[in-house]
Structure 1
């Protein structure tokens, strides 16, 4: 029977209801415009699934292609993924339509630091705290081979907790960009009042030294409420920058005066370095090193870590700034894994089903579980989970690596920094049968050569006695060839 269509009458006409909000890519309700530039607009938006606010940077594909900025945008994305730090604005994801590219980023509620300084100079303790957080973020970026090159109060945001967030990496460079065989950068960029004298000379410059100069200008602005080098005529201002001509107000302490003259040293070779800033008397007052890690793609500070009490989190913080990491391991104090804290009850490892086993092995032959695939290794063991975890902790301790453990997962991190961060390894244990477990070891970050060296010299020899030797007389599940190698 065909469905009948009801007749419409005047009193049955459609009532105006609440308009459904338009969602960007099915997830984001876009709100007010936060800012606009030549190539991009930034909006605040709400994730309708999580109810969290984010900032969305929308870029026009047409303009990007027209101005030859494709490589530039790709580099900015790579840089933002490389520098995940509590004092750096986070990039959550990148999306695209036929006409637009969208950066979904952390929304920082407090706005620009510039708006606070524009009202007048800050109190010394407040200025020092912002400067300490700025230096922590810049130090982290430099260990990742990233140089911001446009540090200024307009690119520094403040969140609801009063913490600084470095933003706008659009002019950033990476170490591998240096050209000409001199190891220096040559692109003239930056904001005039904050640019270093060696950039003006156009003879090449060290990206790290340029960022340190900009940090010095920012510190002066925070403490004085005005620029150290200022002139209505830009040529005259550049002349002052090149000569390093500035005067500190009378309320600056001797320690602050000394630090500023070392930051704004016109000779990049003698200009203060990040480690030297960390040891400066004025800088060190009340300074606490931020400690953090990422887990399940979420950034956490150690204060959020339920495995570590507040006292422990503060214990050895003073010596750990070098190992701050965006990896799955954090620079926790080594004492965390040395028995200071009672080990919580060992939970049972997650079980593997048939689909897990198939996904683990490229063939159906179970000998494929004994395999190496570049950045990961798996092996079987009959040893208790507690024994395997204890051995992993012992191996890490022997080479002064830090350790974090959560249930049947262990993360191990080295302290030697590289462009890809310190070597970080994650080991996870799965139950195959009530008496056999699968141990999966993966490289999370760091150089491949460093990972292979650690595996060959430390990990494999240390774990060899725990590996269950395969029974080659056993009938395989399928006649397909195993493709992996023994651990």
Structure 2
């Protein structure tokens, strides 16, 4: 059976209001999973908004273990975002390029940062949308520099085809003035580098006056709050929380824990850097590109002067390798096998 550009195959799964079938694109031959929805049941169950939220969420998530949503025409169709920041092509509901629409939203933010007010605003949504469709930015404040005014006009171009692209923005003279490229240094950004790396952060207090070796002191309520039964991330993320959050207890001091984690990382072939209480270790592969990275964050919590909890977290990466790393760290820190290594499931 053929559905559009896809040849339908066997059923992969079936629910109350939908079936998922294996399909192959008749042009590329690539396999896809097609979810076929029963609109009648969806309306009867009053779950239209739920379906829309699922689509919007899948459009945002990019992860090896999360199913990617493919749009048939290469464009996005979900209407989402705050009205004042939404690009006109989104409001047109004819499909839009996500990157170009995001540039428009960034232009609105830039406008607010430079002027202190929104470029398009009205209490009446219909009037607001008319202003957005028109994209009139001729009434920019006179005190704005010519470079800033030109940049705003090029970004807030109602036509997504002629709207300035990121590459051109980064080459713009006004943008490059005093511009310092951001350096990826957290676990989310580390996922995109071409080596295996993990970053460990020691929790810092709000006043920023304590030494880098000092742990975060937690009370009983905070300890209970670490329990997975209170963790709502499972409502939004596919991977099991227990696979990402590993905790173990230790009698070593916070300073000793950080030093031992550093030693273990070096023993495993990682190149270690420490800056402002932040430990980052990188393992490079000679002669080949690494297909992925393993970013890990670590925090040390003080329960009592002689008892600490080390929490290891990962945002993405190989779960098996992550578990192996966590187990080695636990063993090297002198925690008895099977007692100190605890998944989030058990908390």
Q: TM-score range by the shorter chain?
A: 0.3 to 0.5
- Say which structure, 1 or 2, has more relative contact order (CA 8 Å, 6+ apart): 2
How does the TM-score come out when normalised to structure 2?
0.41
Report the structure number with the largest CA radius of gyration: 1
